[in-house]
A and B are shown apart, each in its own frame.
Chain A
Amino acid sequence: QSALTQPASVSGSPGQSITISCTGTSSDVGAYNFVSWYQQHPGKVPKLIIYDVSNRPSGVSNRFSASKSGNTASLTISGLQADDEADYYCSSYATTSTRGLIIGGGTKLTV
């Protein structure tokens, strides 16, 4: 199974909003609302910031929002802050014979 497709990098200025896309297929992103997003600062452990396409775990800022349309999911970060500079990964449950997880290639956000 191929990785989900994400842009390699995005950038924005403090206070602005950015959106990161995550494109899969009808066998993963498009199949169920089982898309998650993770934030990883350099040298740190990935942190779950979105699950089930658009839900935030407790403690995650409401500046993070997400959605899905067809085979493409999107993460939007509003009111960019310096600390948002990190790598972001999407993942999806896959309905292929493996029925496992598939993770995107990651997007480096520069603020």
Chain B
Amino acid sequence: QVQLHESGPRLVKPSETLSLTCTVSGGSISSYYWSWIRQPPGKGLEWIGYIHYSGTTKYNPSLKSRVTISADTSKNQFSLKLTSVTAADTAVFYCARTNMVRGASLDFWGQGTLVTVSS
């Protein structure tokens, strides 16, 4: 069973860079695509972007200028960097496996981590 776990600072100051890592166990990231999704408190889900282990990435156009997703196959991890954060970036951040064989469905999710942007 694939398991994902998000880690990283829970509090980030405005204008700084939010950095999160997703560690995958029970399967290799050297297959499938891997996504980041966020959910502001009380609001809906927003897809941030995904990465393939080969390095191919796609980002949500609304965040593209501030987002970088990378992967480290040696550690079976992939990471998110979101620059110039504001309070509007406060959200629960999820990582998820993106199954392109099944219509780009997000079939395994991490537990999510709440990141608060505040001084």
Contacts and interface: CB of A to CB of B under 8 A. Distances in A.
A102 B64 CA distance: 14
B47 A100 contact: yes
Contacts, number: 80
Contacts of B59: 98, 100
Q: How many B residues are at the interface, by size bracket?
A: 20 to 34
B104 A101 contact: yes
A40 B37 CA distance: 14
Q: How many A residues are at the interface, by size bracket?
A: 20 to 34
Interface string A65-90: 00000000000000000000001010
Given A98-B58, A98-B60, A106-B44, A51 B94 contact: no
Interface of B: 35, 37, 44-47, 49-50, 58-62, 64, 94, 98-99, 102-107, 109-112
